[in-house]
Structure 1
């Protein structure tokens, strides 16, 4: 077994791999960019090596810098995690040349399955059914457009390289082709360095089911059951579970056998995933999508139902050991469901969010597992993927696992950056999800039903009490001598706070009394008796006889509160910068999130119609096209391609035409 292993990744997967290395007594080496100096994975590892500045291309995606770190620390093997260099032939080849073991499949298997065009040809030759489409290599834009017309709309454009939904575009008609082809190529080139596209038939009511396979160098290839990954948004998985609620034992056996044949076709060793698409109405028909030659994000659900540590198996297989079991020994026990916690705001179209963690509560309990790299002080920026953590629940049956996961998400509090935790809870409560009636379009169809839930009751009252308790934890909730305009003889004074949630109007909250006997009035509402007790980051508030518990933090004029599965930031209105005011200017276009301008579609003086694309902002590997809010002339365009922009920064102004004389 290896004595030292370098983990060529960051975030929760680096933490997860390092924990298995520690359990096996193997010395671990972490690498990190300048942005990740002090991150949790660097603190857990035995050794941490800086490998460059924040941009991934200059750090985590640099084969030379990763190999240099491996040589300097005496690493005998490199574990690439997922994403970044995990399916990179150059890294695998460089490791081989340096006499370092790449913990992954053979180079030939990476090459065969890393190119989706070649992968489909390879497995089709092995008798595995594939999705109808056009997969000729080297198609230019015109060829891609002709292929789309030939396949028939709607079609799916997919990058030949990479994965994770990056660069995938659904095209519903010929009028969309030019724009979508350009966007798919641009995103694929930025994410994978390769803008080759293929065209597939788009199955709108499909289910996405994948099979975990494992092979060793002694000729054994097995599968470890399937995972259902049909709950997706923008082709990115959101919730995964094992086993699939759709498949019968016979269907599971057939799909598993096809996955094993696909792996055998390329001489596969190590951990891999064969992904299939299934018609929700005809589950006996399945089609090969792709094979991921690495560990998957959702591997914990397989670990929960098989009792296996997949990272340990990867290490043992890479060290030359045989798999310690055969296919007949694989038994699936119970049910597991995983939810991906992202730094994003569902109410604002799932736009990526940034911030610094000022408070954190991660759930625990029977059957609950959290894979995370979060800690108070963690900075969530725009350089990397917005996934923060994964919350996983196991139980003997699916319904108990689902209920456990929903409850665990309700106990999750990430303060300092907006997340999708409340959205995930609402998704798990959807009647079709409860019943196991899943498909890849479910989230889009639900739309605002899953994203429009408002903040929990009494949020503003709790925030005001938290602020005043923070100022005077043991004294009066409001000290009249500190309030220049409110104190008078005869009764306690009111202390006034104006608090504003993102996208909402300021709300006036009045508080008076002491923490054990206060009164709170929100807006025009009548005063209600209240008590407030602060215990560390926990705030217990009683209003009208009902007690609620909140996780609370206060930083930079913003109060973060988590309760009832929701996390909300309330800014003290008196201290607000007024940056959002620019959005009220007619024709102003503001950045919906921090990011980088990648493309300018318009120029100063251009006449544009409402909805005309003006520029593209990229953040966390996602593109967002900003359009003209009205018809007129582009009179301000203060940005350039490559420029970084802040949240709500004004990036363009379209001025409507002056009314004609006499109007």
Structure 2
């Protein structure tokens, strides 16, 4: 076994690999970019080496710098994690050439299975059924269009060199095929350095089921059962579970055997995953999609139902040992489910978010496991993948596991960064998810029902009570010197006191990302405080969502509340006789609240400041960045005439592209960015003034 292993990755997977290395008594070496200098994986490793600036191309994707770090620290092996160079054949070969053990398959297997076109041809020859699609590599745009026409709409565009849903495009309308091909090529080039595409038939209401395989250098290959990965957004998984409720023992054995055949066909060694697309109405008709030549994000659910440590097995195989288990030894016990907690906003189309982790509480112990790369005080930027952590549970049956995971997500608090934790809880309670009637389109199809109706009144009320700080009783302040030769006006006390009248309201303004500011008024009332939440338009009545959630709150009726207790990370308030307890943190930027797995980023907002995401420049429409990121494409210039829906710019963040389109026909009268510009969320990118006839 190795004595020192370099982990060529970051975030939660680096932390997870380091954990097994520590348990085996192996010295761990972390690498980090300037953006990750204070990251958790850096703190937990035995040794850490800086490998470059924040840009992945100059750090985590630099083969030369990674090999140099291995040499400087005396590492004998490299674990690539997943993402970055994990499925890069050139990196695997470079490690071997440098005398390092690559903890993964040989470069030849990575190269073969990393090319989806060659992979399909190889496994097809081994008798594994494949999805109908284009054939041949290096197809031009015109050839892809022709192949799509032959297959018939809808089709799926896929990067040949990548995985994880990056660059994948579902196209139902042939008229937009050319534009979608161009966008898919850009994303593929950005994510994998290779813009080769293939096109496949799209199977409506499919299920995504994958088989975990293990192979050693002695010719032994086993599978560890399947994982159901059908709950996805943007072709990327959000919930995974094992085993699948769709498969019976006969189908499970057949798919497992097909996965083993696929692994043997490419001379595979190590841990890998064979992915299948399965028609929900006919599970026996499964098709090979691709093979991921690395550890998968969702590997913990397999670990929990088999009792095996896949990272340990990777290490043993890479050191030359034979697999310690045979197929007959594999037993699947209970049910495990994993939820991916990501820095993203489901209400805004799952666009990436960012910020600094102000407070953090993650569940663990017993039936709950959290794999995380987070620490409080560390910023989450737009440079890398949005996944922050994974919450995994194991129960005796699926119903128990679902309940445990919903509870674990409720105990997950990541404040300061918008996450999908609340969305995941609602998804796990969806009737089709509870019944096991899944498919890869469920999230997009039912998204509106999975989003919160609104922000409860008690959230804004608590924010206002915290924002007002310690409150003196109403009345004039004592006459005290402010500075030598000057005095404080006793009637200048900001506590709402009025001479001979009802105390005045103090106004607070809060704004959630991407929404209009909400006004909250407070005023003293005996030993309590009256709180009145207005709707985003500023009216003196609660919005329908707030009214529905606020006990006893009719339009224009203040609530009566007070802070009951407060610690460094929690606050308890009483509002109209109902007690609410929040996890919270405060910062110079404002007050941040989280409750029951949902994170509401309620921050102090200047009511006078312009709302950058809406109209307001003399009838013109300001186009704002929907997420923090980098402008990669600018298709227009000031003075250009544009049509409604025309693509104007492309913003990329965390390997995700978002196209900014013209809201109406008009003229570009302002353009504040160029390719390469880094932008903040809601930053103005351009202004489109409508045509006269349009505005009239």
TM-score using structure 2 length: 0.91
Separation (CA, whole Å) in 2 of partners of 1:396 and 1:479: 62
For the residue of structure 2 that corresponds to 1:218, the secondary structure is: coil
Evaluate the alpha carbon distance shift between residue 360 and residue 576 of structure 1 in structure 2; reply closer, same or farther with a 3 A threshold.
farther
Q: Quick check: 1:421 aligned with 2:455?
A: no
Structural mapping, 1:76-475, within 5 Å: 76-468=76-468, 471-472=469-470
> For 1:187-242, what per-residue CA distance to the aligned partner results, in whole angstroms no more than 9, with x for missing partners?
10111011111110001210000000001111110001100000011110110000
Separation (CA, whole Å) in 2 of partners of 1:296 and 1:529: 48
Query: 1:499 maps to what in 2?
Result: 509
Deviates more, 1:360-369 or 1:426-435: 360-369
Q: Is the 8 A contact 2:496 2:524 kept in 1?
A: no
Instruction: Name which of 606, 630, 641 aligns with 2:664.
Output: 630
**What is the CA-CA distance between 1:479 and the residue it aligns to?**
8.2
Separation (CA, whole Å) in 1 of partners of 2:494 and 2:588: 24
Structural mapping, 1:526-605, within 5 Å: 526-574=558-606, 577-578=609-610, 580=612, 583-585=615-617, 586-605=620-639
Evaluate the alpha carbon distance shift between residue 625 and residue 109 of structure 1 in structure 2; reply closer, same or farther with a 3 A threshold.
same
**What is the CA-CA distance between 1:493 and the residue it aligns to?**
4.4
Separation (CA, whole Å) in 1 of partners of 2:502 and 2:565: 20
Separation (CA, whole Å) in 1 of partners of 2:598 and 2:89: 43
Evaluate the alpha carbon distance shift between residue 518 and residue 619 of structure 1 in structure 2; reply closer, same or farther with a 3 A threshold.
same
TM-score using structure 1 length: 0.96
Query: 1:650 maps to what in 2?
Result: 684
For the residue of structure 1 that corresponds to 2:263, the secondary structure is: helix
| Count of aligned pairs | 657
**What is the CA-CA distance between 1:571 and the residue it aligns to?**
2.3
Instruction: Name which of 498, 512, 517 aligns with 2:524.
Output: 512
The RMSD of aligned alpha carbons is 2.0
**What is the CA-CA distance between 1:560 and the residue it aligns to?**
0.8
Instruction: Name which of 674, 681, 690 aligns with 1:640.
Output: 674
Gaps of at least 5 residues in structure 1 are none
**What is the CA-CA distance between 1:604 and the residue it aligns to?**
2.4
> For 1:457-499, what per-residue CA distance to the aligned partner results, in whole angstroms no more than 9, with x for missing partners?
411111122234xx33xx7587864734721468994662413
> For 1:216-275, what per-residue CA distance to the aligned partner results, in whole angstroms no more than 9, with x for missing partners?
111110001100000011110110000011111111111111001111111211100000
Separation (CA, whole Å) in 2 of partners of 1:133 and 1:659: 47
Separation (CA, whole Å) in 2 of partners of 1:606 and 1:467: 46
**What is the CA-CA distance between 1:582 and the residue it aligns to?**
6.1
Q: Is the 8 A contact 1:371 1:389 kept in 2?
A: yes
Separation (CA, whole Å) in 1 of partners of 2:694 and 2:633: 34
Evaluate the alpha carbon distance shift between residue 27 and residue 569 of structure 1 in structure 2; reply closer, same or farther with a 3 A threshold.
same
Evaluate the alpha carbon distance shift between residue 492 and residue 47 of structure 1 in structure 2; reply closer, same or farther with a 3 A threshold.
farther
Separation (CA, whole Å) in 1 of partners of 2:300 and 2:98: 32
Q: Is the 8 A contact 1:371 1:391 kept in 2?
A: yes
Deviates more, 1:561-570 or 1:429-438: 561-570
Evaluate the alpha carbon distance shift between residue 660 and residue 567 of structure 1 in structure 2; reply closer, same or farther with a 3 A threshold.
closer
Q: Is the 8 A contact 2:632 2:675 kept in 1?
A: yes
Separation (CA, whole Å) in 2 of partners of 1:461 and 1:478: 20
Separation (CA, whole Å) in 2 of partners of 1:156 and 1:534: 52
Evaluate the alpha carbon distance shift between residue 242 and residue 372 of structure 1 in structure 2; reply closer, same or farther with a 3 A threshold.
same
Gaps of at least 5 residues in structure 2 are 478-491, 535-555
Q: Is the 8 A contact 2:461 2:520 kept in 1?
A: no
For the residue of structure 1 that corresponds to 2:602, the secondary structure is: strand
For the residue of structure 2 that corresponds to 1:587, the secondary structure is: strand
Evaluate the alpha carbon distance shift between residue 330 and residue 465 of structure 1 in structure 2; reply closer, same or farther with a 3 A threshold.
same
Q: Quick check: 1:615 aligned with 2:649?
A: yes
Structural mapping, 1:1-80, within 5 Å: 1-80=1-80
Q: Is the 8 A contact 2:464 2:520 kept in 1?
A: no
**What is the CA-CA distance between 1:354 and the residue it aligns to?**
1.1
Deviates more, 1:72-81 or 1:312-321: 312-321
